[in-house]
Structure 1
Amino acid sequence: MHRNTFIQFLRYEKRFSPHTILAYQNDLDQFLRYLETTFGITKADEIRHTQVRSWVVEMMTEGYSPRSIRRKLSTLKTWFHFLMKREAITRDPMLKVNLPKIEKRLPSVVRPENLDRLFSEIGFDHDFEGLRNRLILEMLYATGMRRSELINLKIKDINFPQRNLKVTGKGNKQRLIPFGPSLDNAIRKYLEARDSEFPHSSIEVLFLTGKGNPIYPKLVYNIVNRSLSKVTSLSQKGPHVLRHSFATHLSENGADLNAIKELLGHSNLAATQIYTHNSIEKLKKTYQQAHPKARSK
């Protein structure tokens, strides 16, 4: 089935993150198990669109959301394209498979005044972990970087004279993100605490655990979730909410969409346009509440 060579392709040619590769691997393994147990298929050239459709029906019966099904079919689309390029199959079964429709959801965003309260009123300890936790929150919101980008950020990626960060994003693409005096101060305070706590550490990444090891995804999530729970009742309180908030607040304050795209590391403008929708929704709400004609029947 060329499963292992496909995973290697994702890792070394597409340069996907370990998290993304694991998701692709799980999706593909689930599909291959379904093919073998349901149809006895063990060769890629035996797969037809009818089997893919059958898998979709199976997932819908099991209660998978349309969003999850679309993601799994996206994995298959990439896999079949890989097989076509290597002439392992002569036809692409996905050409006759329709993706389930999903409702467009606007990103969850923390209001600026709540974030102000988080940094000005909610206390952070002044020890190593307190300074680290505050910096994680401030860096995610001030730069809009992804959790994986924050975890992999190295000390050498910080340019204090130019006040920018060299961030490595999806597909190993690098971009520069500027930062202001507040984040500059927070980084310096954390580095001072880090050097005091772990004076002999040779670890290159910026963020460490309380034991001096590189920080990991679940810990970042817990830090953000616990802190945001103090200032917002949003159901989603993970690191990505701060990325959404960064982009939405820039858009609401008149930032150019192309500039937001570059800061976020999006490959195309379509992915960035969702943040203009949030701004438009806010304008509509303001209009409906304040304009006489909006209330007249």
Structure 2
Amino acid sequence: MQLQRAVDDFTVYLAAERGFSAHTVRSYRSDLGQLRAFAHARGVEEADQVSLELLRDWLWQGSQAGLARSTLARRSAAVRGLTSWLAKTDRVTGDTASRLKSPRSDHHLPRVLTGAQMEGILRTLEERAATDDPEAVRDLAVIELLYASALRVSEVTGLNISRVDFERLTVRVTGKGSKERVVPFGVPAKRAIERYLAVARPVLAAGTTEALFLSGRGARLGTRAVYSLVSTLLSTIPGTGPSGPHALRHTAATHLLDGGADLRAVQEMLGHASLGTTQIYTHVSAERLKESYRSAHPRA
């Protein structure tokens, strides 16, 4: 079986049967496309010709090119997934990458905004929405929901109106691996969404669609538009790290734990399969506590 065909079939399998997000599938396809080009340059065209030595050389080349350890770890995961699937489906004999070790990812604490910074962002959005501009009213509702519920940006843009329960103050979302979960949101988010539905969405709607949030052209709002919105809002706020919607997810999770929320409840709310993934926010809270101590205690 040709390696290119194997990559194509594998990525189709990830999307259709494993329910991987479009973003993850694109990343895997890109990584495996790099592998295919690397193998081609060495005269390897067939999937069963891919050796452990070739895979190690491929990762080493990426390391020498200055790729982040997180990128190399993702490449390792992609190729391990590919060779495991090839072996399980009897397309090749043996799982070549089963002994391939991935480098440890860089463990940087996520960017988290303070409560005052979030209040400033929401106040800015409220002032814009006061003009009744449809997109400004929508933007306020989007950010309120992102912060209130700690949802992924794809989960927010993928929401349909029928998935919002205003009586119970919950939304039903489909997360990674096509897993559904019910997530709560607060009264300010409820007010923002209800106002959006009343005064903005009817203006934006270009046709019949169940999508909750709409673009200026009346189609479902895309993740890129939300990235641009959040990036602009965070551009004037001091701090390092990513400035996309995930920063609001990190912020919401950390503020929940700072406020005394149970770690497992936060895990369920975030849709994390592993408690260890959620525990990074306890490290963030600890770092924030230490920073406050160093700046405030006379014997620090």
TM-score range, shorter chain: over 0.9
Question: Which residue number in structure 1 is paired with residue 24 of structure 2?
Answer: 20
- Flag structure 2 segments of 5+ consecutive residues without an equivalent: none
Structure-2 change in CA distance of 1:275 and 1:93 (3 Å): same
- Cα offset, 1:291, TM superposition: 4.6
Question: Which residue number in structure 2 is paired with residue 78 of structure 1?
Answer: 81
Structure-2 change in CA distance of 1:102 and 1:22 (3 Å): closer
Question: Which residue number in structure 2 is paired with residue 265 of structure 1?
Answer: 271
Q: Normalising by structure 1, what TM-score?
A: 0.93
Matching of residues 44-193 of structure 1 within 5 Å: 44-121=47-124, 123-125=127-129, 126-193=132-199
- Cα offset, 1:217, TM superposition: 1.8
Aligned with residue 41 of structure 1, among 28, 38, 44:
44
Amino acid at match of 1:167: V
Q: Relative contact order, CA 8 A, sep 6+: which one is greater?
A: 1
Q: Normalising by structure 2, what TM-score?
A: 0.92
Aligned with residue 8 of structure 1, among 8, 12, 25:
12
* Helix, strand or coil at the partner of 1:124: helix
- Flag structure 1 segments of 5+ consecutive residues without an equivalent: none
- Cα offset, 1:102, TM superposition: 3.4
Structure-2 change in CA distance of 1:230 and 1:201 (3 Å): farther
Per mean C-alpha deviation after superposition, the further-off stretch among 40-49 and 96-105 is: 96-105
Q: Is the 8 A contact 2:204 2:214 kept in 1?
A: no
- Cα offset, 1:77, TM superposition: 1.0
Structure-2 change in CA distance of 1:62 and 1:223 (3 Å): same
Q: Work out the number of aligned pairs and report it.
A: 293
- Cα offset, 1:7, TM superposition: 1.8
Amino acid at match of 2:251: S
Q: Distance in 2 between matches of 1:140 and 1:153?
A: 12
Cα RMSD of the aligned pairs, angstroms, is 1.8
- Cα offset, 1:284, TM superposition: 2.4
Q: Is the 8 A contact 1:266 1:272 kept in 2?
A: yes
Amino acid at match of 2:203: E
- Cα offset, 1:90, TM superposition: 2.9
Q: Is the 8 A contact 2:165 2:171 kept in 1?
A: yes
Q: Among all aligned residue pairs of Structure 1 and Structure 2, give the percentage whose two residues are the same amino acid.
A: 33
- Cα offset, 1:289, TM superposition: 4.1
Deviations 1:20-42 (CA, angstroms, capped at 9, x unpaired): 1111111111101211112x112
Q: Distance in 2 between matches of 1:65 and 1:186?
A: 39
Q: Distance in 1 between matches of 2:51 and 2:25?
A: 25
Deviations 1:190-235 (CA, angstroms, capped at 9, x unpaired): 0112343146631111111111111112111111111222444444
